[in-house]
């Protein structure tokens, strides 16, 4: 979710406080343990640190250098083993500006030239959605690992073409930019939710609220039009497609089902004076099997409560926001045993039981309960880190395979690659499923209709 890292002010303060506390702890020789971290022990000077070693380096090329492309560069810049060796944008000013973030990287105005650079091992595609197909297919054909931003495409045909090419490129890693899939909090919550801790699924609800025009200014009318493609139906799959895909994906992932149908509503209420025709407010109802519905609303007109997801089960509800989660239990539901020891937070008239990785009864009794520290990195960082690790690991395994078995069977290679312990990440199938759901949700909202999902939309 592109804006999840926009923490509210209070969180930002907490973050700074915790960050400086962490630095102090490190200096004082304390050990800090977290689900998403290495065992890092800073002891007296000269002592060796025991930590997860940096992954094998992978040379990155980044294609598409608008705001999001520069966010990608910032994440890669602080990541060990992820040198950015090439940059590409057809707009010279964007290219020059981004080049400052990645000193030493070669710059290209044509993505084909970047793909021809043998030094580039992996590419991140952050260009407008409609251009993904051409670039992703060329990148895979050029033997590059591909991280393609979500949505994969703005048509089902294009999304399928990308998915098909990714499936066939068995030696390469393809990751769809559905960042939450790689977030440690999601990794922690997923087995919890799927284990049935909430009882029977009843319904899910999510919102994405922001007071933001989505409009951009630029030095020339042509550039402005290009930057504002999201505002026009002809070049945009709207709020649900461009932004909502992330929450639609994560809810489907938690419910572990594919929706049967989606009904949508939409209106253009506030941002009416710049010639746009994309709605600024949408609602969608996804129907899942067994009578479970997912209610989702998005607006650019009001920021109340911002973004979160709620899952209602027969025993408890679970709320996730800013990558923190709380459980709200029904009085009649059986205790799992650990709840009294967990962190509790009051929300108006409800008490939420904090779901925190690494929390323990001992922590609680000793008064050292694990607090809700913001995760150290942004969701984008974790997703790119997973891509880096998986791509480096896969490249090594492919090389090893052909060294061991020079005329080895590709089917055996595929089976062997399944033995790798990969970091959680959205693959081509996840990318295709989410893209289809988002495209059709937008279509349902714009036409104010119910659309029944057809099986063949999701299959290659």
Partner 1 sequence: MKLLVIRTPNQLRLSTALAILAALVFSLGPVARAGAQTLYKSSSQPHASSVRVNGTSTAHDWEMEGVFIGGTLDFGAGVKLDQAQADPAGLQDNKAPAKAHVIIPVRSIHAKVDHLPEVMDGLMQKAMKADKFATIEFTLTSLTFKGPHTAGKPFNFETAGELSIAGVTNKVSFPVTIDCLEEGKIKVSGSAPLKMTAYGIEPPAPNFGLGLMKCGDDVKINFDWTLKERK
Question: Scanning residues 177 to 216, which ones bind partner 1 (CB under 8 A)?
Answer: none
Q: Compare residues 49 and 336 and give the one whose CB is closer to partner 1.
A: 49
Using rule CB under 8 A, residue 38 touches partner 1 = yes
Interface segment toward partner 1; rule CB under 8 A; list 77-85, 251-259, 410-418, 443-451: 410-418
What radius of gyration, in Å, describes the C-alpha atoms of the chain? 23
Using rule CB under 8 A, residue 401 touches partner 1 = yes
Which one of 413, 422, 424, 443 is in contact with partner 1 (CB under 8 A)? 413
Residue 238 in 3-state DSSP?
Answer: helix
Q: Compare residues 49 and 365 and give the one whose CB is closer to partner 1.
A: 49
- Candidates 35, 20, 15, 101; CA nearest to 358 is 35
Q: How far is the CB of 404 from partner 1 (least distance, A)?
A: 2
Q: How far is the CB of 176 from partner 1 (least distance, A)?
A: 24
DSSP 108: E
- Candidates 323, 361, 329, 330; CA nearest to 343 is 361
* CA–CA distance, 124 with 114 (Å, rounded to integer): 12
Q: How far is the CB of 325 from partner 1 (least distance, A)?
A: 23
Question: Scanning residues 88 to 127, which ones bind partner 1 (CB under 8 A)?
Answer: none
Using rule CB under 8 A, residue 43 touches partner 1 = yes
**Structure tokens belonging to residue 141:** 């054909």
Q: Compare residues 131 and 416 and give the one whose CB is closer to partner 1.
A: 416
**Structure tokens belonging to residue 164:** 């098909």
**Structure tokens belonging to residue 398:** 């492919």
Which one of 212, 415, 454, 459 is in contact with partner 1 (CB under 8 A)? 415
Helix pair 92-99, 67-77: axis angle to 10 deg? 20
Bridge partners, 298 (sequence order) = 208, 282
Q: Compare residues 358 and 371 and give the one whose CB is closer to partner 1.
A: 358
Interface segment toward partner 1; rule CB under 8 A; list 48-56, 128-136, 199-207, 334-342: 48-56
Are 381 and 79 a contacting pair, CB within 8 Å?
yes
Q: Compare residues 293 and 363 and give the one whose CB is closer to partner 1.
A: 363
* CA–CA distance, 52 with 389 (Å, rounded to integer): 12
Q: Compare residues 261 and 359 and give the one whose CB is closer to partner 1.
A: 359
Question: Scanning residues 275 to 304, which ones bind partner 1 (CB under 8 A)?
Answer: none
Q: Please report the DSSP string for 404-427 in residue order.
A: HSTT--HHHHHHHHTTS-PPP---
Beta strand spans in 300-410 (E): 307-313, 316-321, 324-329, 344-347, 350-354
Interface segment toward partner 1; rule CB under 8 A; list 49-57, 171-179, 217-225, 314-322: 49-57
Interface segment toward partner 1; rule CB under 8 A; list 159-167, 250-258, 394-402, 450-458: 394-402
Q: How far is the CB of 25 from partner 1 (least distance, A)?
A: 12
Using rule CB under 8 A, residue 405 touches partner 1 = yes
Which one of 48, 234, 290, 335 is in contact with partner 1 (CB under 8 A)? 48
Q: Compare residues 334 and 404 and give the one whose CB is closer to partner 1.
A: 404
Using rule CB under 8 A, residue 41 touches partner 1 = yes
Using rule CB under 8 A, residue 170 touches partner 1 = no
Backbone angles phi, psi at 88, to 5 degrees: -145, 130
- Interface with partner 1 (CB under 8 A), residue total 28
* CA–CA distance, 245 with 248 (Å, rounded to integer): 5
**Structure tokens belonging to residue 239:** 């709020």
Q: Compare residues 220 and 358 and give the one whose CB is closer to partner 1.
A: 358
Using rule CB under 8 A, residue 418 touches partner 1 = yes
Question: Scanning residues 15 to 34, which ones bind partner 1 (CB under 8 A)?
Answer: 31
Q: Compare residues 50 and 452 and give the one whose CB is closer to partner 1.
A: 50
Q: Compare residues 16 and 47 and give the one whose CB is closer to partner 1.
A: 47
Bridge partners, 123 (sequence order) = 61, 146
Task: Measure Cα distances from 175 to 14, 162, 164, 259, 352 in Å.
Answer: 32, 11, 13, 22, 34
Using rule CB under 8 A, residue 267 touches partner 1 = no
* CA–CA distance, 378 with 188 (Å, rounded to integer): 16
Bridge partners, 313 (sequence order) = 201
Q: Compare residues 338 and 405 and give the one whose CB is closer to partner 1.
A: 405
Using rule CB under 8 A, residue 47 touches partner 1 = yes
Q: List own/partner pairs for 324-331 with CB under 8 A and 24 or more apart.
A: 324/185, 324/354, 324/372, 325/185, 325/189, 325/354, 325/355, 326/352, 326/353, 326/354, 326/355, 327/197, 327/198, 327/352, 327/353, 327/355, 328/352, 328/353, 329/353, 330/199
Interface segment toward partner 1; rule CB under 8 A; list 242-250, 298-306, 369-377, 402-410: 402-410
- Candidates 444, 391, 424, 361; CA nearest to 185 is 424
Using rule CB under 8 A, residue 397 touches partner 1 = yes
The residues that touch partner 1, with contacts defined as CB under 8 A, are 31, 38-39, 41, 43, 47-53, 396-397, 400-401, 403-405, 408-409, 412-413, 415-416, 418-419, 421
């Amino acid at each position: 979710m592109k804006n999840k890292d926009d923490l509210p002010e209070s969180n930002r303060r907490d973050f700074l406080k915790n960050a400086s506390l962490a630095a102090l702890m490190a200096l004082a020789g304390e050990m800090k343990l977290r689900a998403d971290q290495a065992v890092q022990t800073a002891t007296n000077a000269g002592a060796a640190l025991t930590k997860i070693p940096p992954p094998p380096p992978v040379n990155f090329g980044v294609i598409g250098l608008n705001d999001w492309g520069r966010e990608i560069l910032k994440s890669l810049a602080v990541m060990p083993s992820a040198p950015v060796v090439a940059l590409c944008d057809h707009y010279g000013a964007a290219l020059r500006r981004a080049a400052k973030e990645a000193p030493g990287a070669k710059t290209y105005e044509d993505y084909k030239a970047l793909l021809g650079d043998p030094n580039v091992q992996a590419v991140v595609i952050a260009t407008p959605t409609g251009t993904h197909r051409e670039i992703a297919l060329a990148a895979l054909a050029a033997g590059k690992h591909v991280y393609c931003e979500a949505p994969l495409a703005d048509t089902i045909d294009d999304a399928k073409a990308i998915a098909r090419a990714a499936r066939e490129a068995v030696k390469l890693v393809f990751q769809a930019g559905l960042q939450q899939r790689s977030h440690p909090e999601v990794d922690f919550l997923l087995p919890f939710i799927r284990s049935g801790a909430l009882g029977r699924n009843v319904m899910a609800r999510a919102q994405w609220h922001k007071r933001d025009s989505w409009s951009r200014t630029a030095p020339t009318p042509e550039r402005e039009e290009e930057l504002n493609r999201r505002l026009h139906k002809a070049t945009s799959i709207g709020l649900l497609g461009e932004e909502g895909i992330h929450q639609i994906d994560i809810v489907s992932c938690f419910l572990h089902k594919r929706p049967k149908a989606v009904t949508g509503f939409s209106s253009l209420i506030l941002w009416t004076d710049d010639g746009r025709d994309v709605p600024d407010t949408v609602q969608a109802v996804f129907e899942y099997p067994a009578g479970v519905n997912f209610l989702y609303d998005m607006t650019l007109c009001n920021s109340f409560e911002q973004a979160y997801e709620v899952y209602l089960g027969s025993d408890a509800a679970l709320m996730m926001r800013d990558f923190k989660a709380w459980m709200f239990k029904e009085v009649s539901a059986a205790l799992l045993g650990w709840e009294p020891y967990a962190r509790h937070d009051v929300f108006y008239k409800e008490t939420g039981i904090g779901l925190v990785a690494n929390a323990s009864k001992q922590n609680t009794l000793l008064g050292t309960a694990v607090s809700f520290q913001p995760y150290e990195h942004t969701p984008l960082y974790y997703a790119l880190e997973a891509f880096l690790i998986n791509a480096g690991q896969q490249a090594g395994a492919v090389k090893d395979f052909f060294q061991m078995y020079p005329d080895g069977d590709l089917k055996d290679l595929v089976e062997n690659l399944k033995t790798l312990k990969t970091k959680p990440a959205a693959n081509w199938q996840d990318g295709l499923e989410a893209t289809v759901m988002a495209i059709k949700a937008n279509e349902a909202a714009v036409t104010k209709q119910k659309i029944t999902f057809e099986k063949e939309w999701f299959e290659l």
